[in-house]
Amino acid sequence: MSVEIPVIHAKDSAQPVSVSEAVFAREFNEPLVHQLVTTYLTNGRAGTKAQKNRSAVSGGGKKPWRQKGTGRARAGSIRSPIWRGGGVTFAASPRTFHQKLNKKMYRAGMRAILSELLRQQRLGVSADLIPSEPKTKVIAGKLREYELGRRVLILVEAENPVLERAVRNVPNVQVSEAARVDPVSLVAADKVVMTAAAAKILEERLA
């Protein structure tokens, strides 16, 4: 069985693309999609925050004064956390926030997202949207004409320098290869526009 991804614009010369129901007509699994999105965002965290504890701060090897007889509180190091210039009591250290999501869950989550986009009429195909020259004015005019919304994601089958240069100065428009598209970009887009070849790549990768 198959479903059709509609053409974005009535005047577009492209035809609707027939794709498998197994990829583009699945039930929406909200908990799985939530896990997929949060895992992607979490794995993007650098985890490079770091502070120095008392052992990492330079100096402080000598006891500043003798233990008794000075009238001052006892002190063992000038790098104690209670001293100015001392180390941090509970110092942050570099860490990884990596979470694992197996391939089966990832593919199922991506299928759920694409199916929901198609049901909400936020997914379509277009060949006319891809410009023949890297002109921002041309692509911006087409985006206005097609009324695609504020945030647009364009999926192509392979790297397209002409398209990337054309949309570089257009706000809230993102270009991605179909094989590398991430779940956050799909969920955040008001409209996802793809070429017929990109649709077939997604169908093959997520089947």
pLDDT digits (tens, 9 = 90+) for 133-149: 888 998 888 888 888 88
Q: How far is residue 177's CA from residue 202's CA, in Å, rounded to a whole number?
A: 10
45-84 pLDDT per residue, tens: 999 999 999 999 999 889 999 999 999 999 999 999 999 9
State percent of the chain over pLDDT 70.
98
Residues 13-25 have pLDDT tens digits of 557 888 999 999 9
Give the model's confidence band at 2: pLDDT under 50 very low, under 70 low, under 90 confident, else very high: confident
Give the chain's radius of gyration (CA, Å).
27
Token pair listed for 207: 């089947």
What residues have CB less than 8 Å from 67, skipping those under 6 apart?
A: 74
Domains of the chain, CATH where assigned: 2-46+101-206 (3.40.1370.10), 50-93 (no CATH)
Confidence of residue 105 (pLDDT cuts 50, 70, 90): very high
